[in-house]
Structures are given as structure tokens and as C-alpha cells.
Amino acid sequence: TLDLDNIQGDILGGGLPKKTETFYFFEVTKVDRFRSQFSEFVPLVKTAAQVNGHREEIYAHKQQKKPGLVTFAAVNVAFSQSGLSKLGIQGDLKDKAFTAGQLKDAQSLGDPGSTTDGKYTPDWEAGFKKEIHGVFVIAGDCHGSVTKELHQIKHIFGVGTAHQSIHEVTHVRGDDRLGEGHKKEHFGWLDGISNPAIDGFDEAPFPGQDSIKPGFVLAKRDGDIRGQDRPDWAIDGSFLTFRYLFQRVPEFHSFLEENPIILPGLSRKEGSELLGARLVGRWKSGAPIDVTPLHDDKELGADPQRNNLFEFKGSIEANDQSRCPFAAHIRKTYPRADLEGPPKNFNIDKNRIVRRGIQFGPEVTEQEKCEKKTHHGRGLLFACYSSSIDDGFQFIQKSWANDPGFPLDVTKTATGTPGFDAIIGQSASGSTRTVNGTNPNDPTTNITLPNELFVIPRGGEYFFAPSVRALAETFAV
């Protein structure tokens, strides 16, 4: 069993319950003052135990059909390497990506940028190009609750007074979409379907949902490969990867419209929907194309007993992409039987991440639809936890999504190149991005993606979310 009172609430289960979430990125300006004010802040941090209890309360509220919403706000906190260094926290967390910071990683992640005098600068928002020491993750039922919580936090750290110890670098806010888009990301796909279950926490994983040892998410717990080399205070903490990802929604939809998959019996519109499904690996409803390759199945998409019950049937050895292209987003980011099944039987638990994203920005306007052009910033505040960024987010992005050779270069038996993950795959060398096998009847079809990405990174940072005990005993003084 896990020490739920010691683990921050966003890491396990569904994470902090949220309809809206603000990420408040800060710089520590006065170290001693910050560390003493921090002891006042620690009791605000919501633990996994509290979040569990709260979910039960919301559930009971719904069951009893009580009017109104349960109001709530919850905060968690995480620090970057530069934050740990600034605070003088000792010990090497043994993660190269974390230690270097995401700004230094941007070029090799393939984030678009410009190069002057041989020096690359990513096209990120100004705030993310500055030094960020930490982030408050504040979730709530409405803006009012989150604003109130943030106000209290600012008060503790004396923001705007002579006792100020932090300075806001930037903040971003995400909101659940309402109406038709509810529970869907901005391209229109149901999100939040597949995350690993955690041994000792998720007692009854859904069919097809693999359970992993807690140490793949929590530092120094069973399964953490680098656990022994990490400082004692790191136990029960987890790395938080944050990415500020803008989505070009009208452009993505118009790409699908212009490139329908031509199959007997399919209308042009159905051919476009099929292309979308083949690029993601699921239909918009969430139904996996490995189970239902040619038609959406809304009931299947919405059914947690069945919507993860698949392992990718077509084998790499046979170069069989008829049910799902190797480069489909969910196959690239969690290749299931491609690596875990025979003949390789790899264990890829260390490459799993626990995703916690939320949407930001307005709905697509009529004008944007009509012009097929984005005028308003929108996308995903991508966040995920893992006990390693080197093996988690960074590995998935660089070695799988961005590598057109993956997964074939693992086997070296099949012909052709799977291509890029059309949703998040980026080319660090600027090469043309193609996706292979989009047509289920012809595994040799290659589709060329536009040079401009559909998902554009505009910032991010790598953080570590320590245990509650570490916050109280190591960070606060």
C-alpha cells in the first residue's frame, strides 16, 4: 500500500479534480524568506488521500442528486532543477532532462525555433524562456474558487508587499470544454481514456489497462530504476513534465477534408473521418481502430470496460498496418504488443506516463471555420507524471513520436518506414514528415504532412513534485 498522505494529489488516480486549472510559474526572489513562508503554505497542499476522499464526496453528492456543485480548490507544487539549486536543496535526482531543463531540450525535442549566429531559440512564449523555479498547480470547480486559492497563496508569499519572496514569471489557465466538446480535446477526440493503473493504488484496473509498479511514477518506490541513487527526500515524489501546446484546429480539419481515404463504400466525409481515426488510432468517440477499423462505435468509445481492451493486432514482422498504422498517435506513444508482445517481449513500464492535461483557449469561431485558419490561441496544457523524464516524456517524444523509423528499426525485418506521429511528431532536422500506411488496403501509402505543425509547442518546463513530508521537512525551514 502507498502512503497516500505523503503523495501530492495530482499524481495518482485521476489527479486533482478539475473543471479549470491554473499553472502559476514563479521565480524565488528571497530564498530564506521563501523557505520560512513555505511552512505556512504546506498545509494547503492537497494529498492523494484528500483527493480520494473528495472524489467520494462529489460522487455521493451526485448520487443524492443534491442541487449545485461541490465547490473546491486544490493546490500542488513542483520545482525545476534551477529552483532546487536556488533553494539550496541538496542531492542529484538522476534525470538528465530534468537537470538540464526543458529550454535546453527544446531543440532536440524538435520544437520550431530560429537560429541566429548558430544559436537556436525556440519559438516559445517569452515567459517560458526565462528562469522558472517552481509552479503552483491550482485546480478547482470554477474560476472563483481558483482565484481565491491563488490569492491565499500570494498572500502567504507576500506578493505585492514588502515581504514578497516570489515573483510571477507567467501563468496559464486551462478549462474543461463545455457542450459538444465536453471531455474532448480541441481536435474533437475524447481524451483521458488510457493511463496506466498503479499497483497498490488502483485496485481494479479496467480490462486492457496494464498495471505498473508504483516506482515507475513515484521516486524510490518499488520499480524505480534509479531509486537507490536518489536522495532520501525524493521518496514519493514524481517528475512533472509541462508542455504548452497550441493546436491548429481548423488547419487540422481542413487537412483531413482534403485527404480523405478512398475506399469502396465510403463517402468523402467518411474517408476524412477515417484518416483522422488512423492518425490518432482512435475514432473521435474514443473507440480504438484496432477493434473497429472502418466505422466508429460510440458505445465502445464510451465504455471503459472495452475501450482499452486491445493490443494492436497487425504485427510489425508482417508489416500489417491494416487495422492501425504503426505511426498512429496512440500506437507511437504506447506501442503495446509491438514491443511487449512476442517475439520481443520487452517490458516498457518505464516508458509509461500518467497524463493530466487540460484544454485551453476558446472554441473555434465561425470565422475561423470559414477561413480554415486559426486566429485565436487554443490547445492543450499537457502535463504528465513519471519517475523519470529521460525514460518518460522525453523518450516518448524523441525516440517514438519523432522517429520515423520507429517501431520498425526495433525489428529490422519489415520494409518501409512508419513515419511520424502526425499529432505530436516533430523533426529536429527539419525533414519532411510523412506517415505510412494510412490506407488500410494499401500499407505502402505515404501521406505527407504540412511543414507547419498541427500541434505547436510554445513553452514548458520539467519539474519535480516532492512528497508532502519533503515539502515540510526539506523545503520549508
Residues that bind ligand N7H (CB under 6 A): 185, 187, 189, 191-194, 243, 245, 247, 280, 282, 329-330, 333-334, 353, 355, 379-380, 382, 393, 396-397, 401, 423-424, 455
Report how far apart the first and last C-alpha atoms of the chain are (Å, whole number).
30
Shortest distance, position 350 Cβ to ligand N7H, whole Å? 13
Cell of 391: 525514460
The stretches of 165-245 forming alpha helices (DSSP H) are none
Distance CA 461, CA 297 (A): 38
Closer residue to ligand N7H in complex, CB, 6/333 = 333
**At how many degrees (to 10) do helices 31-41 and 143-156 cross?**
130
Q: State residue 202 phi and psi, 5-degree precision.
A: -85, 100
Minimum distance from residue 106 beta carbon to ligand N7H (Å): 13
Mark whether 320 is an active-site residue. no
Name which of 399 and 445 has its Cβ closer to ligand N7H: 399
Which residues are registered as beta bridge partners of 190? 184
Kindly state the smallest distance separating residue 96's Cβ from ligand N7H, in Å.
Answer: 17
Minimum CB distance to ligand N7H smaller for 212 or for 280:
280
Closest to ligand N7H by CB, 194 or 238:
194
| Nearer of residues 208 and 271 to ligand N7H, judged by Cβ | 208
Query: In the complex with ligand N7H, which residue's Cβ is closer, 425 or 466?
Result: 425
Least Å distance, CB 188 to ligand N7H, is 8
Amino acid at 108: S
DSSP state of 259: S
Do 376 and 369 touch, CB atoms closer than 8 A? no
From 10, 191, 290, 391, the catalytic residue: 191
Beta bridge partners of 172: 23
CA distance 141 to 278: 35
Nearer to ligand N7H, 97 or 396 (CB): 396
241: which residues sit within 8 A by CB, 6+ positions away?
102, 353, 382, 383, 384, 385, 386, 389, 392, 393, 394, 460, 462, 463
21 or 185: whose CB is closer to ligand N7H?
A: 185
Nearest approach in angstroms of CB 7 to ligand N7H is 21
How far apart, in whole angstroms, are the C-alpha atoms of residue 157 and residue 31?
11
- Residue holding cell 479534480? 17
- Minimum separation from the CB atom of position 288 to ligand N7H (A): 8
SS (H, E, C) 388-456: CCCCCHHHHHHHHHCCCCCCHHHHCCCCCCCECCCCCCCCCCCCCCEEECCCCCCCCCEEECCCCCCEE
Identify whether the C-beta of residue 433 lies closer than 8 Å to the C-beta of residue 448: yes
- Please compute, for residue 290, the number of CA atoms within 13 A of its CA located in the half-sphere on the CB side: 24
Torsion, Cα of 228, 234, 237, 238 (10° steps): -60
The residues annotated with a catalytic role in the active site are: 191
